[in-house]
Structure 1
């Protein structure tokens, strides 16, 4: 696809960026070579703007390894080894690497981001799934599809997932956790903000939530459940330990269940009855299945 002067101008570019285009590519340029030229000249913001305006292509960049300061590619990036970038990696479609993906600032893909090893970035945004061995994100993380991390996931700000989320180790999020479907954690779950799952929350270890803990279905933990705010489950609420809400807040089970069905579908299980229990059927301590 060739981008002419008139074509680019119709997108209302910034004055500085359009002047660069007129000076360096007055006769127009093919899409990807123009992105490459902008990045090479240090105009990565302009390259990202151009990609946002004209969208992804079907092109595929296949490499053994990728090491650079920044790259903006309109298609998919497929690397057999690892990716190491000082600043930004952005693709109009997916990004896949057989090894680690380490990016100094932004890692952005219009579709899935998949790594055989660790993913490290300041911020991460995937329009599709995020699949990795482990991940450390210093800022916010957003995946429009599923999130599947084989080991630990550490996120220093908010975590947003558009489908279900599964973490094979510990999940530590310093901000909010918002998961559209179910949240599954095989280690412990610790957050600085609230947790909201559209379906259920299942954690093999303890849950330590910095604000409200909400699930559309049930919440089940292999350790105690502690929140600084309210604890609200649409169905049952089970812990192998205490269930403790924040000062002045309540514990609620069965919010999506009729009261006559509480005994079977809004059970509250813990080592002792929560002092703040306001709804649900208290059944006492039990061995978690």
Structure 2
């Protein structure tokens, strides 16, 4: 695809970026060639803007490995080994990696992301489709995934987590910001968020659930150890824990918010090692193990 001067001008580019375009491609230029030249001239942000304006392509790049200062590609990338990028990694469609990924700043994938190894980014991770990482994930910024997320080991995020589908990790799932999940949120070990944790369906942790603000699930909440929140705990159905269930000072614990009161005994059970002192709704059934 060739981009002409009038075509680019119609997208209202910044003055500095348009001057660069006229200086290098006064008669227009090939889409991918423009992206490569922008990255080579340390203008990765302008290359990312170009993809936002003109969208992805059906091109496919297949390589053994990638070691670059930055990479912006509008199509699909398949890498047999590892990716090591110092700044930005931007892919218009899908990215499949046979090894691990290290990105110095941000990674943005328009489609699905598949990583056979570990994913580490010092900044934001954005994925438009599903995200599958066989090992762990470490992100210095927010993680936003438009589809389902599955991480084989731990997921650590120093920002917020936002999932458009189901989300699960084989180990811990930890964020310093909010955790928002449209469907089910699961972790093999702990789930911890410094702010609120919300799931449209259920929340399940193999160990403890810790929440810095309010903990909310449209369906049920279950933990293999404790459920602790500094705010309120609210569930549409049951709340089950092997250890204690404790809300923040002055806040309550609410089970069965999505079911009628006469169905609480079967659909809004509350189980913990001891009876919660701030239980406001739900059917207290004691400390015996049960299933949501």
Bin the TM-score by the shorter chain.
over 0.9
Q: TM-score, normalised by structure 1?
A: 0.99
Whether the aligned pair in 2 keeps the contact of 1:181 and 1:198 (CA below 8 Å) is: yes
Unaligned runs of 5+ in 1: none
The count of residues paired between Structure 1 and Structure 2 equals: 289
Aligned to 2:113: 113
Q: Deviations over 1:201-238 (max 9, x none)?
A: 11110111111000000000000110000000000000
The reply on whether 1:281 has 2:261 as its aligned counterpart is: no
Aligned to 1:196: 198
**In structure 2, distance between residues paired with 1:227 and 1:263:** 24
Q: Secondary structure of the equivalent of 1:87?
A: coil
Aligned to 1:101: 101
Residue number among 173, 185, 189 corresponding to 1:171 in the alignment: 173
**In structure 2, distance between residues paired with 1:283 and 1:113:** 43
**In structure 2, distance between residues paired with 1:260 and 1:174:** 39
**Distance apart, 1:172 and its partner CA:** 1.2
**Equivalent residues in 2 for 1:204-283 (5 A)?**
204-283=206-285
Q: Secondary structure of the equivalent of 2:48?
A: helix
The runs of 4+ residues in structure 1 deviating greater than 2 Å are none
Q: Deviations over 1:78-100 (max 9, x none)?
A: 10001000001001101111110
Cα RMSD after superposing both structures = 0.7
Whether the aligned pair in 2 keeps the contact of 1:222 and 1:288 (CA below 8 Å) is: no
Q: TM-score, normalised by structure 2?
A: 0.98
**In structure 2, distance between residues paired with 1:263 and 1:114:** 43
Unaligned runs of 5+ in 2: none
**In structure 1, distance between residues paired with 2:140 and 2:44:** 21
**In structure 2, distance between residues paired with 1:189 and 1:203:** 6
Aligned to 1:14: 14
Whether the aligned pair in 2 keeps the contact of 1:237 and 1:269 (CA below 8 Å) is: yes
Whether the aligned pair in 2 keeps the contact of 1:240 and 1:288 (CA below 8 Å) is: no
Aligned to 2:3: 3
Whether the aligned pair in 1 keeps the contact of 2:271 and 2:289 (CA below 8 Å) is: no
**In structure 1, distance between residues paired with 2:249 and 2:167:** 29
**Equivalent residues in 2 for 1:150-189 (5 A)?**
150-189=152-191
**Equivalent residues in 2 for 1:130-149 (5 A)?**
130-132=131-133, 133-149=135-151
